[in-house]
Amino acid sequence: MKTILRSTLLGAVLLLSACNYLGGDQTRIKRASEALTKGDYNAAVIDLRAVTDKDPSNKQAQMLLLKAHLQRGDMEAAQAAYDSAAKASATPLELAEAKARLLAGRGKLQELFDSIDAGSSGFEEPTRSLYRAHALLGLGRPMDALALYDQLLAAHPDLTDARLRAAESHIQLGRPELALEQLQLAVKDAPQSAESWTIYAGLLQSLGRLDEARDAREHALALAPGQLTYGQYVTLISNAFMVALQSGDTAAAAALQKTLAAFSPRGALTRLYAAELELAVGETAKAVSDLTSLAADVPEFAQVHSALIAGLLEKESYELALRQLDGLAKISGTGSRVEAARIPIKTAAETPRDTPKHAIAVASAHIYLSEPHLARRVIANVLNANPDSIELAASGIGLDLQSGLRARGLDKARTLAAAKPQDTMVLGIFGEALKVNNKHAEAADVYEQSWLLKPNAQVAVEISRARRDAGLADSTEPLRRWLQREPRDPVIRLLLADAEATLGNSDKAIVEYEQVLKAAPNQTLALNNLAVIYGERGDARGLILAKRAWEGAPKAPLVIDTYAWLLARSGDAAAAKPLLEQAIAMAPGVPEMRYHYAEVLAATGDRAGAKRWLDEALRGGVVLSGRDAALKLRESLMQ
């Protein structure tokens, strides 16, 4: 009996030791820290809650729990963890960043800004200035934020967060080139920053630099676990998934869906992407079944309903697709791209299947539903049965170009043009493919061939634009050529006037604008642009024309800008100031407006403000109309 008792006690001791080893507080905290590093925020929360429920005063666990909730994006839980950490003797300095993230996450940016200005945020420099700039950026004041970021980077060039937000400020101000410079520095100086690569990939994608965007996104995905918040990581995976799917790379899309499923196995997005893959590989019936179930579970998730409609189109269930579209319109609004799918769906329902018209209708609906990969498949399948259909071939090429498959689209277009050299529709799509691939001189030659076959205004415009983009001489000649045929064409004459003005041929531009206004006295663009030319020459007619343009289009920011600038030039800077503020609020990315506002501020005695706005207008060597005058103003402000 004693031996049995001794063995039982020994077993209890060993069991207690194992429990301490497997689930002791320090073991759990260490395991949670490792989970945070790997990006497994849910696992970290489980371990940390086990510690804090037993010992609420454990500051280390409370601080890690706060971080975990913030990374998960659960602001309510993060607030509770913040309060618990404060009770566990966490200092204001230790809690400062978490408090800022909480306020930002709840949209309380003004409160964040006020707390920093009042000195109650708990931050020390340079973090104080950094978060002050973050608040300004979030409040829609990118210029003020950028001024702070510039100061920070001058003193701390390795402050990656400031560089990233400076890039975002430039993006908000409509200056992608300057944003790109900052992001290139960020990924060079901080190559292990997932957020740097994420923002860089997004900008490259928007600029059409798709191969570079893909590489940057791969860097971001490799670094993301443990760095990005749950929301940031899901967004990154989602963007990469859609790019892969729409380009036809189902293997890459499947790998991304698997990554998403690893930490959100039954999440709505995980299930949606699984169904999208089923559609992509032709498992239509299963996809429709899965999407129908998902739509019932998340009825307000518009993307699910959109994919379901696409699946119903693949099943040729047009009436069901239209009924789903009615429901989706209530979620996304009748003016959306999805609502625009109604006409092609009706056309598909009324058109014999396996015909070019039917295929183009279905493909058009898929495009509106953001499913270009399905559109390409529809076109390709019917093109196999109708190899001589130029309309189908052109549609397939257009889809390749829209989906970022530029080289493939160009190869197809070149082959088609070689087979159909006398077809103006083929030449048009060939010219477009050349432009998308930045082969503008060759595009100009192709459009010239089309002109010889069938002269028209659109071809004249395309030749002119291709010559301009290629840097060739006589870019306006094709427009003049058309006007010799149709001298009363007001659209082409206005385009010619604008082109001459852009080239600096103001005398020629005046002649053309006056011709336009002779035929259409209230043509807003002609009034505005002619007013600019007269204003630059100091001609009093400029203000008269600008006022007429403004009276006709009082909500157009460029028109407001012209009128306000000429008002200021005439001596009425006080009246110009609110007008320019209105214009800049509507179009913050136009450097000329900042220059004009600087002139107004200088005229009203605000030299410091004028200098700041002028520096912004001239930042990065932007091409600025009236640059000489702007530089002269800057020189006077420096005195």
Model confidence pLDDT, tens digit, residues 555-584: 999 999 999 999 999 999 999 999 999 999
3-class DSSP state of 521: coil
Nearest to 165 by CA among 193, 191, 188, 186: 186
Model confidence pLDDT, tens digit, residues 256-281: 999 999 888 999 999 999 999 999 99
Q: Which position has the token pair 């007269």?
A: 534
Mean of all residue pLDDT scores within the chain? 91
d(CA 174, CA 35): 39
Model confidence pLDDT, tens digit, residues 221-254: 999 999 999 999 999 999 999 999 988 899 999 9
Average pLDDT rounded to a whole number, residues 83-103: 94
Model confidence pLDDT, tens digit, residues 380-426: 999 999 999 999 999 999 999 988 889 999 999 999 999 999 999 99
d(CA 237, CA 256): 6
Whether 13 has a pLDDT exceeding 60, the answer reads: no
pLDDT at residue 18 in the model: 42
d(CA 516, CA 494): 7
3-class DSSP state of 90: coil
Q: Domains of the chain (ranges plus CATH)?
A: 39-219 (1.25.40.10), 229-404 (1.25.40.10)
pLDDT at residue 494 in the model: 96
pLDDT at residue 467 in the model: 97
Nearest to 557 by CA among 524, 596, 597, 593: 593
Residue 336 binned pLDDT confidence (cut-offs 50, 70, 90): confident
d(CA 470, CA 441): 5
Average pLDDT rounded to a whole number, residues 137-166: 94
pLDDT at residue 630 in the model: 76
Identity of the highest mean pLDDT range in 364-373, 449-458, 589-598: 449-458
Judged by average pLDDT, the poorest of 129-143, 217-231, 609-623 is 609-623
pLDDT at residue 551 in the model: 96
d(CA 108, CA 95): 17
CA dihedral 531, 510, 524, 581 (to 10 degrees): -30
Residue 509 binned pLDDT confidence (cut-offs 50, 70, 90): very high
Close Cβ partners of 214 (under 8 Å, ≥ 6 residues apart): 201, 243
Residue 9 binned pLDDT confidence (cut-offs 50, 70, 90): very low
Amino acid at 172: Q
3-class DSSP state of 451: helix
Residue 333 binned pLDDT confidence (cut-offs 50, 70, 90): low
What percentage of the chain exceeds 70 in pLDDT? 95
Whether 368 has a pLDDT exceeding 70, the answer reads: yes
Task: Assess whether the previous peptide bond of 126 is cis (omega < 30° from 0).
Answer: yes
Nearest to 478 by CA among 488, 468, 507, 470: 468
Whether 218 has a pLDDT exceeding 80, the answer reads: yes
pLDDT at residue 614 in the model: 85
d(CA 390, CA 402): 18
Residue 297 binned pLDDT confidence (cut-offs 50, 70, 90): very high
pLDDT at residue 5 in the model: 40
Residue 616 binned pLDDT confidence (cut-offs 50, 70, 90): confident
Whether 334 has a pLDDT exceeding 80, the answer reads: no
